[in-house]
Amino acid sequence: MDYEFYKDSIVLLQGAISEVLTKIEIIREYRKVRGYNDPINYITTRVKSEQSMKDKLKRKKLAVTLDNALTKIYDAAGVRIICSYIDDVYHVAEMLKKCHGFEVIREKDYIKNPKPNGYRSYHIVFQLSLDVSGEIHPIFVEVQIRTIAQDFWSSLEHEIKYKKNIKNPELISQELKRCADQIATTDLNMQTIKNMISSNDERKKH
């Protein structure tokens, strides 16, 4: 992808993402060698596309400038962590919040407080001080943590949202909300099953 709009800052955004990834990998490996479960299923990252950033700035009635993109919008750099179970989402959030150098700027728990459309996910905006040979660059990274099931729903909902010519948008929204609620129930049931299994294996708890 072409990142003309971000200019040199693209390196800083990618650098901040790498720092978050490295930290997560160390935590995962350290847990693994000590015999603990891995609470993470997989991770994806992205620098927000220039078009999506420009659209968001306009949506928020901000001038389309690089400075606004880096200081007023928090998700130019994004990390998405996918977990199997709801408890893992909260566990990963707590682990990351304890990391030295990860300053929590904003936290949104859309799992306890889902959006009206049914969206569920745990969002934390961290500020990292990226040290480039003594030059310190504060960079925001938005970390989204959610279950496989929540991710499945939000990927499809995101795709549908951008489809034009939907003839019956209200019905589609209602159906999506119904699916989100069903998925939430399934996540709770899966958590219960996991808890039943883990109580037989005390050694593998968090």
Q: Which residues bind ligand 0O2 (CB under 6 A)?
A: 48, 52, 56, 74-75, 108, 115, 117, 119, 123, 154, 157-158
Quote the least distance from Cβ 14 to ligand 0O2, whole Å: 16
Task: Name the residue nearer to ligand 0O2 (CB basis): 117 or 185.
Answer: 117
Question: Smallest distance from the beta carbon of 202 to ligand 0O2, in angstroms?
Answer: 37
Nearer to ligand 0O2, 52 or 186 (CB): 52
For residues 120 and 83, the answer to whether their CB atoms sit within 8 Å is no
Which residue is associated with the tokens 């899966």? 190
At 175, list the tokens.
Answer: 């159906």
Q: Looking at beta carbons only, is 32 or 115 nearer to ligand 0O2?
A: 115
Output the DSSP codes for 59-93: HTT----HHHHHHT-S-SEEEEEEESSHHHHHHHH
Q: Could you count the other beta carbons within 10 Å of the beta carbon of residue 130?
A: 19
Report the C-alpha gap between 104 and 23 in whole angstroms: 15
Q: How far is the CB of 155 from ligand 0O2 (least distance, A)?
A: 7
The token duo for 20 is: 């978050």
Cβ proximity to ligand 0O2, 37 vs 74, nearer residue:
74
Rounded to a whole number of angstroms, the minimum distance from the CB of residue 102 to ligand 0O2 is 17
